[in-house]
Amino acid sequence: MNMFCYQCQETGNGKGCTTQGICGKTDETANLQDLLIYLLQGMSFYALPLFHDKKTTDTEFLRKTGVFVAECLFTTITNTNFDAERIIALIEKALVQREMLRGLYLANAPAGTKLPDNASWMPADRDEIFRKSLKVGVLDEQDADIRSVKETITYGLKGLSAYAYHAATLGFYDDEIFHFTFGALNKVGLNTPMDELLELLVETGAFNVAAMAVLDQANSATYGNPEPTKVSTGIRNRPGILVSGHDLKDLELLLKQSEGKDIDIYTNGEMILAQSLPYFKKFAHFAGNYGNAWWQQPEEFTKFNGPVLLTSNCIVPVEKGYAERIFTTSVAGYPGVPHIEEDGGTKDFSALISLALRCLPPTPLNEPDFMSGFGHHFLHTAKDKVIDLIKKGKIKRFVAMGGCDGRDRARAYYTERALSLPEDT
Ligand code: SF4
């Protein structure tokens, strides 16, 4: 066995990917991601008492540490980042930050305080990083039940980190989320009894909701509340750039930099949210949505004909048809794919824009347009009308659905469920 990962529904034989990820992740990258999480647990060993017990009241330091931990956890989500070099860079940064925290912690700790390995291991060189990555991981925990709960907590932390990271990008924070993350990582890294872990698991769910609320507030304050919108799936007759993932800030920067350049910007995947946000609609070159689920990327990215920007998950192994015109930014990464780094609070997307000008317009996918943007703000404004329709018997039921189909036809639960609903739903 070269690796062990069972963090997603695609996992090998429903049990675990052990030689290479079904998603395309190599064993080397998977092992380095395990080591990164191990070191985040070590960072949290110090960060928890330092920040939560107010040994330091430096809010900027707390947020810098919290956002870095969130960035690292987000980077390890399923098919977000396949680039081993980027994971090594994060490991090296985590070691630097951990040592800074360690110094502050030991300044007030009693002499002879014992430190766990994840809080004290230090590599002499890159080779030692690779060797260590083979020795730490999910299977370190021998008890299958404890392992299962610990990993579920870790996946919950990855999810809330994605929300917290995006909110922080827009300048919104909830410091309690960082305190909770440090505490949870610390407990997952130690020999914590099952009853405590189960409590932590429930709390992880609650903090996911809290993190979603901060992101909702950040998005609404920055880009306006989602409003019901008919989303076009058609194409325009000039080249375009396709933006996928979740990072609205990246979309904003790209729209500003490409204004008046004779190209259009399309959304793909989770970026569909932008179609219903007032801020983005004001850009004349903000076109419609192009494409469907993540696993259709090879066919759809090939047909798009222009540059594609991945701002977060999901990336599927890059194919020849678009290998020369795909870019990553933010937490996304793929070996050999150019990565647009942040520099001084902004990003330079000129490489995508100049490439787009040399590309053909997208090939139409001939999909029907659809409605989007029925967020909680809109539903609140429409509540009197909805209540009236319920009283008149015109609304008989509410159906809430959350999640997405898998690529395996046997995992088309959401589509099947929607199609099975009564005609008048
Ligand atoms: S994220 Fe990739 S490596 Fe991990 S279980 Fe899913 S398919 Fe396998």
CATH (domain of 51): 1.20.1270.20
Q: Give domain status of residue 364, yes or no.
A: no
* 53 shares a domain with 134: yes
What's the CA-to-centroid distance between 245 and ligand 1, angstroms?
A: 18
Pocket probe mutation, ligand 1, options 2, 6, 7, max atoms within 8 Å of Cβ: 7
* 211 shares a domain with 113: yes
The mean of the pLDDT values for the chain is 95
Whole-number pLDDT of residue 247: 97
Put the strands of the sheet holding 326-329 in their side by side order. Answer: 286-289, 264-267, 240-244, 308-310, 326-329, 339-340
Is 21 near ligand 1, meaning CB less than 6 Å away? yes
* 216 shares a domain with 141: yes
Whole-number pLDDT of residue 127: 97
* 163 shares a domain with 36: yes
* 399 shares a domain with 349: no
Predicted complex ipTM exceeds 0.90: yes
Is 76 near ligand 1, meaning CB less than 6 Å away? no
Whole-number pLDDT of residue 67: 98
User: Distance (Å, rounded) from C-alpha 157 to C-alpha 37?
Assistant: 11
Contacts 24+ apart (CB under 8 A), 222-225: 222/170, 222/248, 222/279, 223/248, 223/252, 223/274, 223/277, 223/278, 223/279, 223/280, 224/277, 224/278, 224/279, 225/277, 225/278, 225/375, 225/377, 225/378
Looking at residues 234-253, what average pLDDT do you find? 97
User: Distance (Å, rounded) from C-alpha 272 to C-alpha 163?
Assistant: 16
Angle at the Cα of 93 from the Cα atoms of 329 and 171, rounded to 5 degrees: 55
Q: Give domain status of residue 177, yes or no.
A: yes
Whole-number pLDDT of residue 43: 97
pLDDT digit string (tens) for 298-324? 999 999 999 999 999 889 999 999 999
Pairing of strands 308-310, 326-329: parallel
**Domain limit, last residue, from 175, 190, 222:** 222
Which pLDDT band, with edges at 50, 70 and 90, does 425 fall under?
Answer: confident
Residue 54 has pLDDT above 90, yes or no: no
* 96 shares a domain with 209: yes
Which pLDDT band, with edges at 50, 70 and 90, does 405 fall under?
Answer: confident
Is 316 near ligand 1, meaning CB less than 6 Å away? no
* 201 shares a domain with 71: yes
Residue 57 has pLDDT above 80, yes or no: no
* 158 shares a domain with 20: yes
Residue 111's domain comprises: 12-222
Domain at 309, CATH number = 3.40.50.2030
* 100 shares a domain with 214: yes
* 336 shares a domain with 193: no
Q: Give domain status of residue 243, yes or no.
A: yes
Looking at residues 120-139, what average pLDDT do you find? 97
What percentage of the chain exceeds 70 in pLDDT? 99
Pair 63, 173: CB distance under 8 Å: yes
Structure tokens given for 72: 């690292």
* 109 shares a domain with 31: yes
**Domain limit, last residue, from 176, 194, 222:** 222
* 351 shares a domain with 234: yes
Whole-number pLDDT of residue 402: 84
Q: Give domain status of residue 3, yes or no.
A: no
Looking at residues 280-289, what average pLDDT do you find? 98
Is 5 near ligand 1, meaning CB less than 6 Å away? yes
The tally of domains found in the chain comes to 3
Is 158 near ligand 1, meaning CB less than 6 Å away? no
Residue 423 has pLDDT above 90, yes or no: no
Q: Give domain status of residue 184, yes or no.
A: yes
Whole-number pLDDT of residue 1: 66
Q: Give domain status of residue 388, yes or no.
A: yes
**Domain limit, last residue, from 166, 200, 222:** 222
Pair 365, 305: CB distance under 8 Å: no
Q: Give domain status of residue 367, yes or no.
A: no
Q: Work out the angle between the directed axes of helices 59-75 and 175-189 (0-180°, nearest 10).
A: 60
Q: Give domain status of residue 350, yes or no.
A: yes
